[in-house]
């Protein structure tokens, strides 16, 4: 039996493993599964290997997840070849009390939102540190067309936000879609639906990392007390 003291001692990595395994209960045999991106999702993919014979295929939100799924023998379908997926399992950088999320820390926000829009249910898997009252403390990722980057920086500055171009190895990070990412700090996103709708219309914005229109149906939250299930 696991005691409260031993649960408290679990590392963040162990909590991610717990929620990754817990997500298996939402997988229907014979279904197509939407699979997200990131360190927590990697734990879900590891767990998925144990039931890979029970699922038809997966739709992946990133090149990295596709490679990981294929390595364990799961067929990955193109999103254009699928009308819907029963569930989409993905992590979050932040999630509020209504299931609205900030995502994109792993730079896959556009493809994540595309797959999320195909899903009948979004199952968010995260450790307890990701639960917040108001979105915005985590730097908000916004995927942009490079020629519009500085214009979008100025628009966020007018709202009190500070947007910085994400770099890798000293160069602007290039997403799977060939675009750049701005990370925006200084925001308090009190109306995620309105915020997402507004920023999505700015010229040059590919995807804003607020997931309010494609919010979570369920969040499996790894805490010191074990996996907490939040239903929205």
Residues 6+ apart with CB under 8 A from 5: none
Residue pair 140/183 in contact (Cβ under 8 Å)? The answer is yes
55-71 pLDDT, tens digit each = 999 999 999 999 999 99
For the chain, domain boundaries? 4-132+213-231, 140-208
- Domain 4-132+213-231 in CATH 3.40.50.300? The answer is no
Q: Are strands 57-60 and 76-77 parallel, antiparallel or unpaired?
A: parallel
Phi, psi dihedral angles at 113 (to 5 degrees): -70, -35
Question: Per the residue annotation, which of 67, 83, 94, 112 is the catalytic one?
Answer: 112
Phi, psi dihedral angles at 218 (to 5 degrees): -140, 145
Phi, psi dihedral angles at 183 (to 5 degrees): -110, 125
pLDDT value of position 8: 57
Q: What is the pTM of this model?
A: 0.92
Residue 71 CB neighbour total at 10 angstroms: 10
Residue pair 135/189 in contact (Cβ under 8 Å)? The answer is yes
Cα gap 104→209, rounded to integer Å: 6
Q: Is 196 a catalytic residue?
A: no
Give the closest residue to 24 by CA, choosing from 123, 127, 129. Answer: 123
Average pLDDT, the chain: 94
pLDDT value of position 76: 98
Q: Which residues of the chain have pLDDT under 70?
A: 1-8
Phi, psi dihedral angles at 13 (to 5 degrees): -65, -40
- Domain 140-208 in CATH 3.30.70.260? The answer is yes
């Amino acid at each position: 039996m696991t005691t409260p003291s031993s649960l408290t001692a679990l590392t963040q990595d162990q909590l991610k493993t717990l929620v990754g395994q817990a997500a298996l209960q939402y997988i229907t045999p014979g279904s197509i599964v939407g699979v997200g991106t990131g360190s927590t999702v990697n734990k879900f993919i590891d767990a998925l290997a144990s039931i890979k014979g029970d699922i038809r295929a997966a739709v992946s939100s990133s090149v990295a997840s596709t490679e990981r799924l294929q390595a364990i023998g799961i067929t990955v379908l193109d999103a254009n070849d699928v009308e819907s997926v029963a569930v989409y399992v993905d992590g979050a950088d932040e999630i509020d009390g209504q299931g609205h999320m900030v995502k994109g820390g792993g730079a896959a926000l556009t493809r994540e939102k595309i797959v999320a829009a195909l899903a009948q249910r979004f199952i968010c898997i995260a450790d307890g540190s990701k639960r917040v009252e108001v979105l915005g403390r985590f730097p908000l990722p916004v995927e942009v067309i490079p020629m519009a980057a500085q214009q979008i920086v100025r628009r966020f500055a007018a709202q009190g936000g500070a947007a910085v171009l994400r770099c890798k190895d000293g160069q602007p990070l290039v997403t799977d879609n060939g675009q750049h990412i701005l990370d925006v700090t200084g925001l308090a996103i009190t109306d995620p639906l309105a915020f997402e709708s507004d920023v999505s219309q700015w010229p040059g914005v590919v995807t804003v990392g607020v997931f309010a229109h494609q919010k979570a149906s369920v969040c499996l939250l790894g805490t010191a007390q074990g996996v907490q299930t939040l239903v929205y």
